[in-house]
Amino acid sequence: MSFAPRDSHKSQIQFALERGIPAFVAMLGTRRLPFPAFGFDLVHCSRCLIPFTAYNATYFLEVDRLLRPGGYLVVSGPPVQWPKQDKEWSDLQGVARALCYELIAVDGNTVIWKKPAGDSCLPNQNEFGLELCDESDDPNSAWYFKLKKCVSRISSVKGEYAVGTIPKWPERLTAQPPRSTLLKNIADVYDADTRRWLRRVAHYKNSLNIKLGTPAVRNVMDMNAFFGGFAAALKSDPVWVMNVVPSRKPSTLDVIFDRGLIGVYHDWCEPFSTYPRSYDLIHVTSIESLIKDPASGKNRYFYAK
């Protein structure tokens, strides 16, 4: 999934969505990005001009939180071997070394690192003041959660979810989730949810005039995704699905990413961070649990045209 800030000059995300490419308006600022910990296999940054080493390398640490153990970080463009940016490039390499990232290649202005599979081998002292977060930190907390100046512990999330240990695609889409503390009987609930959405999507295609499974529908959003069963049932269709896990619901977004799907946390009491009229189809289930006004207890309603 691509993300970038709203740009009135280039509108990068709007263009991506119009092309039918997964994209989201977001930026590295003062809060964690609305994604679970250790969910992305590869993080790529091309000419994004993010000061990764500023503020005690806070932005690099956020990328580290998002990157799966054994995953890859690719930075292309400034400051990688860029004229007059020697110090920033040197600092970037220093942070990567402090976090025990393996340098895979430097080719021109592009660098590739591999994240270690275990907790960082940070020394007691390093020039950037980096240290591991305490054990009380939940690296999956990411909705209106301030960035932390510490390294998220891989050991704080149980399960085999490192690159190389998680099943390959497409087997990972239906394999039992390697991590989740949501339910004791998660395997049974997960399998039942998968079967339910296979039946329902087949019903949608046969009974409703929504053109699912055809090139007429490309950008799809599931407003209450749970385990991503709706998206998984569309695996053979020419669509991508933005799986939204409401912030007030139990967090299942890590399971969605482990399945090889994409998604975000969101609170439907505020606008979704995208350009207007950019989705071809919006799917809603169990909306009554999402539209109740917490102040009055009364329901709010959505209308479609």
Q: pLDDT tens digit string along 84-124? A: 899 999 999 999 999 999 999 999 999 999 999 988 787 76
Write down the pTM of the prediction.
0.90
Q: pLDDT tens digit string along 120-173? A: 787 766 778 889 999 899 999 999 999 999 999 999 888 889 999 999 999 999
Q: pLDDT tens digit string along 211-220? A: 888 888 999 9
Q: What is the CATH number of domain 31-163?
A: 3.40.50
Of 230 and 291, the structure prediction assigns the larger pLDDT to 230
Euclidean distance between CA atoms 2 and 242, whole angstroms: 12
Is the domain covering 167-305 a CATH 3.40.50 domain?
yes
3-state secondary structure of 164: coil
Residues of the chain with CATH 3.40.50: 31-163, 167-305
Q: pLDDT tens digit string along 187-221? A: 888 999 999 999 999 999 888 777 888 888 999 99
Mean model confidence pLDDT for the chain: 89
* Dihedral angle, C-alpha 137, 184, 234, 224, nearest 10 °: -60
C-alpha angle 282/287/292, rounded to 5°? Answer: 130
Q: Are 175 and 157 in contact (CB under 8 A)?
A: no
